[in-house]
Amino acid sequence: MTTVHRYDAVIVGAGGAGLRAALEVARATPRVAVVSKLYPIRSHTGTAQGGIGAALGNMEEDHWEWHMFDTVKGSDYLADQDAVEIMCQEAIACVYELEHWGLPFDRTPEGKIAQRRFGGHTRNFGEAPVRRACHAADRTGHMILQTLYQQCLKHEVQFFNEFHVLDLLLEDNVCRGIVALSLADGELHVFHAKAVLFATGGFGRMYKVTSNARSLTGDGVAIALRRGIPLEDMEFFQFHPTGIYKLGILISEAARGEGGILRNRQGERFMERYAPTLLDLAPRDIISRCMYTEIREGRGIDGKDYLHLDLTHLGREVIEKKLPDITDFARTYLGIDPVREPIPVQPTAHYAMGGIPTDVHGRVIRDEKNTPVLGFYAAGECACVSVHGANRLGTNSLVDILVFGKLAGRHMADYLRGADFAPLPKDAEGPAREECQRLLTSNGAESVARLREILQREMMDKAAVFRTREGLEAMLTTLKELKDRYRRIRLQDKGKIFNTDLQEALELGYLLDLAEVTVVSALARRESRGAHYREDFPKRDDAQWLKHTLAYRINGEYELRYKPVVITRFQPVERKY
Amino acid sequence: MYRGREGMWSWILHRVTGLGILLFLAIHIVDIYLLGWPDLFNKLLFFYRHPVFRVAEVFLAAAALYHALNGIRILLVDFWVEGTRFHRQIFWAQMVLFLLIWIPASLWMLSPVVFGR
Amino acid sequence: MRVLLKIKRFNPERDRAPYWAEYEVEVEPVDRVLDALEYVKWHLDGTLAFRRSCAHGICGSDAMLINGRNRLACKVLIKDLGSPITVEPMRGFPVIKDLVVDMEGFFAKYRAIKPYLINDELPPETERRQSPEERARFDDTTKCILCGACTTSCPSFWANGEYIGPAAIVNAHRFIFDSRDRGAAERLAILNTRLGVWRCRTIFNCVEACPRGIDVTRAIAEVKRALLFSGT
C-alpha cells in the first residue's frame, strides 16, 4: 500500500540549503515537509570546517565587491556574475541572521564575529589575503547545521527522516511531487506537492579518495537527469588539496589560513614556485594541480603519492584553540600530533561545481534559454546557479547554501500563493516500484560493492585532476560495462526493514549515471579551466569555451548544449596568483 | 556488563555499600529494640561475638568507610567547580585513604579472633 | 590482518530474538571498526544493517557498543582493540535491525528542552555582541553531535527510559549559559524534575562515552548548581 502525502512544498535534503529553504517556506505555509534519507543533523553540511565567507569587515576593511571579484576569478571566469553579485551581497545578511538565531561564532576581543583568512579571498581585488571567513573553531558547518535544524524545530517544520528519494514527478514541465522509500519499513511513499526543492548534495562517492560522506551519491541530480533535466557544468569537480592520505578526511583550508604550509619530500614550500602572491592560500584547483605535479615529478614524500601539511611552526596554543577538530583527526587516525609532526595529505575529491541548473531564484531551468520548470527548485551543492563556475573558493559553499536556500525558499513561498496542486501522474510510484523490485529479485552474480569499487578507482585514475582524451574515452567504455553489469546485480538482503543493501544499489545507479555525464562533458570540453584540466588541451580558451555545458540524456543518449556565461563587472583575464 | 570505569564502579560500590549499611541498620534497629527483653538482648550480644560476626563487622566497617569517603567525593563532584575534572584522581586518593584506615582497623577488629580473648 | 568480529544481529522479519554472529574480516591495523563492518557488509553478508555517513566522527550516525563501551565505530581503530571485537547496538532504545536503534525517543527528549535560541528582543542590524569569555562559557556543550552515546551508556537511563538523559541536558546547558539566550528559566524549570537533571547519579559513563570529549557530567553539575543557587 502506497501512502500519499499532500504538502504545499516538499524539500528533499536536510542539509544547510534544504533547512534554510524550509525555514523560508515555513513563514508562508505550515504545509512544508522536509524529506531526508538521513537524520538532518547527520547531513554533510555538518562536516564543513573552515568558515563562511562574508564581507563583514570585522577585522579589516572588506567589501562584497572584493568578495565578488575573488569568487569570479576563483571560478576561472565561468561563474554567472549576476548570481555571484547577489550571493556576495546577501552573504552578509545571512551571516548576521545565523548569529541572531544563536550560532556560536568565535569572537573578536570587541565581541564581534571573528574572521580568518582563506584560500583565494583577497582585499582590493587580489592585493593580499583578507580575513573574510567567519568561523566557529573548525566546526562552522556543524554549528550552521545545528542552528538551522534548531530553528526548524522552533517553527515546527515537518520532517520525514530516513526517507530516500527515488523519483521526481514531472509532467508537461510542471512538477507534481516526489516518490520516496521509507527505510524503516521498505514502503514507497508519494508526496503530492505544489513545489519541490532538491537540496540533496554532491556526489564525491564517484571517486575513490573523497572527503564526501557515504551518503553523497548525487541522488537528486541523477533523478533530475533521468527526468529530462539537463545537468550543467558536470565536468568541473573540485579536488581539495589537503585530505588525509588514503582516508580522504578533510584537513580544512583553515589550517593554511592560520599559517600552515605545504611541503614536498625536500621540505620545500613548493607553492612559492607556482603562486608567488597567495602561496598556500591560492585557490584549491591550482594547489591540487601543483601537488599532483610535485608527486608526478617524484617529489612526493618518500617518492609516494602524498605531501606534507606542516603546522609545526604555529605553536600548540593556536593549533589546539583554533584547529581542535583537525588536531583530533590527525591524532585519532594517524597517531600524529600536528604540533610536532607534519600531516600526510593528498588531493581529495571534494565538491561538485556542476549540477542541476537553476536561475538566481533557485528555479530549475531546462534549457539554454533558461526556461524554468514550474514548481521545481534546487539549491546547494546539487544545484548549479552558477556561482562557482569552474572552481569554488573555500567558505563559498556555506554561503551558497544559505543564500540560495533562502532565495529559493522565498520564491517557492511566493509561487505557492498562486499555485494549485497539479494532478499526480497515473501510477506515480510505478517506475520507482519497478526499479526496487528489479533490484530485489535480480539473480545475477554481480555485487554492488565490487562494481562501486571499480567505478571509484577508475574515475580517480581517469577523470580526476588530470584528464586526457584517451583516459576519458576508456572511462566511458568502463562505464558502459559497469552499467551493463549493474543490470545483473544480486542483493543479499531482500527484506523490507532497513534494507541498506537495496539503498546502496540504488545509490550506485545514481553514481553511474553521474559519472557518465561527467565524463561525456569532460570529453567535449577541449580546454582547461578551473578544476577541469586536460593534458591535451592545457590552456584556457575563452574564445571557444567561455560557456556552460548543459548535458541531456535522452533515451540513453547524451546530447550537449551550451549557454553563455553572464558577465557584468569583471572581464575575463588570465588567472594568476 | 558495560565496561565503565572509576565513575561507574564507584557508583556501583556506593549502591552496594549503601544497601549493605541499610541491611545492617535494619538488623540493628531490631536488636536494639530487644533492650525491652534484657535476657534475650544479652544472649544476642554474646552471639555477636562469634567469629562470623566479627568478620561481618569488618565488612560493615568497609562499607561504612567506603560509603562515607565516596560520599565526600560525590559532594566534591557536585559542589566544587573542578570536581568533575578530577573525580578519578579523587577516587584513587579516597581508595588509598580507605586502605590506610580500614586495614589497621580490620586487624584490630579481628584480633580477638586471631589471638583469642 | 585477520580479525574476528562478533556482531549482535537481529532481523525482526525473521528472528524472534537477537543472536551473535561471527565474521572473520581482513583489515589493516589502522582501519576503523566501521571499515570492518563495511567489509562484512560488502564481502560477507549484505544483510548487515548499520547507520553511517561521514566516517570521521562528526555526524554521529554510527554510535554503538564496541567491546563493551559506547563508541563511534568510525573513531575506533582496529589496532587499539585487537581481536575479537564485539559490536552491539546501543542499549536502552528498541532495536530496529542489527545495529540500528530507534532514536525517536532520544530526539523527543532533545526537543523537550527547547533547543533553539530564545530571545525576543529585537536584534541589532549586525551581530549581537558577545565577548570571547562569554563565548567560552558554553563552548564545551556546543560540540554535541547528538550521537546518543552518552544517554545510552547511562545506568540511570537504562533503569528508567523516561530520564531526560545527558544529551538533552548538555544541549540545554548550551543555551542556558549562552549570554544571548533569555530562556534559561524555562529550560531550568523543565530540567528541575525527578526525571530531569536530578536523576543523574554522577556515574560518568557519559563522559567516557562522548566521542567529542565533552565533560558531560560537568555540564550536568553546572545545571544542578544553577538550580540550587538560582545563579548561573
| Cα C29 from Cα C230, distance rounded (Å) | 51
| Cα A275 from Cα A277, distance rounded (Å) | 6
Check CB contact under 8 Å for C153 and B2.
Answer: yes
Domain presence at residue B88 = yes
Check CB contact under 8 Å for B84 and C153.
Answer: no
What's this model's pTM, rounded to 2 decimal places? 0.94
Domain presence at residue B117 = no
pLDDT of residue A119: 85
pLDDT single digits (tens) A549-571: 999 999 999 999 999 999 999 99
| Cα B38 from Cα C226, distance rounded (Å) | 53
Cβ contacts of C204 on chain B, cutoff 8 Å = 4-8, 11, 84, 87
Check CB contact under 8 Å for C205 and B85.
Answer: no
pLDDT single digits (tens) A238-259: 999 999 998 999 998 889 988 9
B79 in contact with chain C, both atoms CB, cutoff 8 A = yes
pLDDT of residue A577: 81
In which order are the strands placed within the sheet that holds A547-554? A231-232, A547-554, A557-564
B48 in contact with chain C, both atoms CB, cutoff 8 A = no
| Residue C95, all three cell numbers | 532495536
Mutation choice for B interface testing from C151, C152, C203, C216 by most B CBs within 10 A: C203
pLDDT single digits (tens) A135-180: 998 899 999 999 999 999 999 999 999 999 999 999 999 999 999 9
Q: Which domain holds residue B106?
A: 6-110
Domain presence at residue B18 = yes
Indicate which CATH number applies to the domain containing B61. Answer: 1.20.1300
Closest Cα in chain C, distance from residue A158 (Å): 13
The Cβ of residue A59 has, within 10 Å, a number of other Cβ atoms equal to: 17
What are the strands, taking DSSP E only, across chain C?
Answer: 2-9, 19-26, 63-66, 69-72, 85-88, 95-97, 100-101
Check CB contact under 8 Å for C58 and A136.
Answer: no
* Straight-line distance from the first to the last Cα atom of chain B, in angstroms, rounded to the nearest whole number: 45
Domain presence at residue B43 = yes
Domain presence at residue B1 = no
Mutation choice for A interface testing from C14, C32, C56 by most A CBs within 10 A: C56
Selecting from C205, C221, C224 the residue whose C-beta is nearest the C-beta of B7 gives C205
| Cα C203 from Cα C205, distance rounded (Å) | 6
Selecting from A96, A184, A332 the residue whose C-beta is nearest the C-beta of C127 gives A96
| Cα A217 from Cα A152, distance rounded (Å) | 25
Sign of CA dihedral A365, A405, A258, A350: negative
Number of folded domains that form chain B: 1
Closest Cα in chain A, distance from residue C81 (Å): 14
* Helix (H), strand (E) at residue A572: none
Q: Reduce the DSSP state of residue A352 to 3 states and report it.
A: strand
Cβ contacts of A500 on chain C, cutoff 8 Å = 41, 49-50
What is each CA distance from B82 to A228, A439, C198, C215, in whole angstroms? 62, 57, 19, 11
pLDDT under 70 in chain A at which residues? none
> DSSP labels for B63-108?
HHHHHHHHHHHHHHHHHSTTTTTSHHHHHHHHHHHHHHHHHHHHHH
pLDDT of residue C232: 44
Task: From first to last of the 232 residues of chain C, give the pLDDT tens digit.
Answer: 999 999 999 999 999 999 999 999 999 998 999 999 999 999 999 999 999 999 999 999 999 999 999 999 999 999 999 889 999 999 999 999 999 999 999 999 999 999 999 999 999 999 999 999 999 999 999 999 999 999 999 999 999 999 999 999 999 999 999 999 999 999 999 999 999 999 999 999 999 999 999 999 999 999 999 999 975 4
Closest Cα in chain B, distance from residue C69 (Å): 5
- Amino acid present at A172: D
Please, which residues bridge with residue A148 across strands?
none
pLDDT of residue A252: 87
A–C interface: beta-carbon pairs under 8 A: 154
Q: Is C105 left (phi over 0), alpha (psi -120 to 50) or beta?
A: alpha
Check CB contact under 8 Å for C135 and A449.
Answer: no
Mutation choice for C interface testing from B78, B82, B87 by most C CBs within 10 A: B78
Check CB contact under 8 Å for A100 and C123.
Answer: yes
Cell numbers 572584493: residue: A66
Selecting from C65, C67, C215 the residue whose C-beta is nearest the C-beta of B84 gives C215
Chains A, C in contact: 3+ Cβ pairs under 8 A? yes
Q: Cα-flanking dihedrals φ and ψ of residue A82, to 5°? A: -65, -40
Q: Is A490 left (phi over 0), alpha (psi -120 to 50) or beta?
A: beta
pLDDT of residue A254: 85
* Subunits close to C (at least 3 CB pairs below 8 A): A, B
Helix orientation angle between A430-441 and A500-524, rounded to the nearest 10 degrees: 110
| Nearest chain C residue (CA) to B73 | C202
Domain presence at residue B115 = no
pLDDT of residue B117: 58
Q: Cα-flanking dihedrals φ and ψ of residue A119, to 5°? A: -55, 125
Check CB contact under 8 Å for A329 and C56.
Answer: yes
Cβ atoms of residues C197 and B60 within 8 Å: no
| Residue A129, all three cell numbers | 589575503
Domain presence at residue B85 = yes
Domain presence at residue B116 = no
* Subunits close to A (at least 3 CB pairs below 8 A): C
* Helix (H), strand (E) at residue A430: helix A430-441
